[in-house]
Amino acid sequence: MAKTPSGKPKAPSIKDVAALAGVSVPTVSRYLNMPERVSETKRQAIAQAVSKLGYRPNAIARALVREQSSQCLVLSSNTTRYGQTQVIQGVETAARAAGFALSIALIAEPGSTSAQIRESVQSALDHNPAGVVLLNFDEASAQALSMIPRTLPLVSVAGERNTEIAQISMGEREGGYRVTQHLLQRLAERGLGSSPVHYVGIPGGGGAEGRYEGWLQACQEAGVPIPPAVEAGWDVDSARETGRILGRKRGEVKAIFAGNDETAMGVIRGLEDEGLRVPQDVLVAGFDDHPVARIWNPSITTIHQDFQGVGAAAFAMLAPMLEDVSLGRAHGESWQAYQRFEGHLIERESTVNA
């Protein structure tokens, strides 16, 4: 593959396709526009070359009235959960202000095969986005990351730090640590300094793990007993059932850190089902600052995450890369930029001491 002066691989051109297929450039051009006028043999040869080189006819998007692609693509494995929808909204607002339209493509859901994930990523890239923001919150999106060519402007949001790409991390671990410390302090104020903080996690993925690790670290540093972490499903009913189970261990469970706010809501309701009161009998905290957390009764102590800010920052990080490409410049330092968004604790009724 051709290299740019900076040594970065260059996207394959129509000439590369023609050379590999053993046909002329006009034949490839004809194939792209009027395939019925190209012989079956040549069609197959060209299709193979297109596929092998991963050729994308960028020029076409450019030729469409606008001189270059003005589409920013968000890749995400989920578009229904609070965090993801807010990050997408943040990217959208920033992209639109800069004259870019936003499109969102779904990566095949968690549990899909690599081939399904590749198919969905490839299909999205076929549309020649100017740049990509990847919401890297789970295993499927982590796999998708490896399938995006490094010639394309890309910002990964969340996930493990990868120094080869531009990335924004969400400070999940620090948030988990901070909220657990808060619960331990409240327990100590109640004269329950040796009581554990129970963790009710959310399923898989990078964010969930960071929160868990932060909880673990805070418990270890405090030298309190560490009960086994419980995992609730994404649905609020499973969180409620978990709250009931913990509630039945009456007297043993004094503080619970739930992996997100919806889980905290379900846990609180489950504790109430067992006749326990929050915060009088059990302290409960969540994570994310979901809008409903502040009107829940009791309002829920949580880690506020600036999801929309993260989305806006992701687009701002993408912008200099888009410019590098549009001006034909070598990749600048922005291609490995890194930014960290730390959440902050919001204390509410669910962890108040009388």
**Would you tell me which residues interact with a second copy (CB under 8 A)?**
14, 25-26, 28-35, 47, 50-51, 56-57, 59-65, 70-71, 79-80, 85-86, 88-89, 92, 96, 101-106, 108, 119-120, 123-124, 126-127, 235-237, 239-240, 262, 265-266, 269, 272, 291-292, 294-297
Say how far apart CA 119 and CA 123 lie, in whole Å.
Answer: 6
Q: What are phi and psi of 9, to 5 degrees?
A: -65, 145
Pairing of strands 71-76, 101-106: parallel
Residues 282, 283, 288, 292: what is their CA dihedral angle, to the nearest 10 degrees?
Answer: 60
Radius of gyration of the chain (CA): 25
Question: From residue 120, how far is each of 71, 257, 338 by CA, in Å?
Answer: 18, 36, 27
Residue 33 CB, nearest distance to a second copy (Å)? 5
Residue 325 CB, nearest distance to a second copy (Å)? 17
Helix (H) or strand (E) holding 75: strand 71-76
Residue 221 CB, nearest distance to a second copy (Å)? 33
**317 close to 282: Cβ distance less than 8 angstroms:** no
Closest to 232 measured CA to CA, from 277, 180, 284, 192: 284
Residue 63 CB, nearest distance to a second copy (Å)? 5
Say how far apart CA 129 and CA 318 lie, in whole Å.
Answer: 12
Identity of the residue numbered 248: R
Residue 48 CB, nearest distance to a second copy (Å)? 9
Tokens representing 178? 């901070």
In the bound state with a second copy, the residue whose beta carbon lies nearer, of 51 and 194, is 51
Residue 201 CB, nearest distance to a second copy (Å)? 18
**324 close to 334: Cβ distance less than 8 angstroms:** yes
Residue 21 CB, nearest distance to a second copy (Å)? 13
Q: What are phi and psi of 40, to 5 degrees?
A: -55, -45
Identity of the residue numbered 350: S
SS3 90: helix
In the bound state with a second copy, the residue whose beta carbon lies nearer, of 160 and 235, is 235
Q: How far apart are the first and last CA of the chain?
A: 68
Tokens representing 260? 């997100």
Residue 195 CB, nearest distance to a second copy (Å)? 25
In the bound state with a second copy, the residue whose beta carbon lies nearer, of 182 and 348, is 348
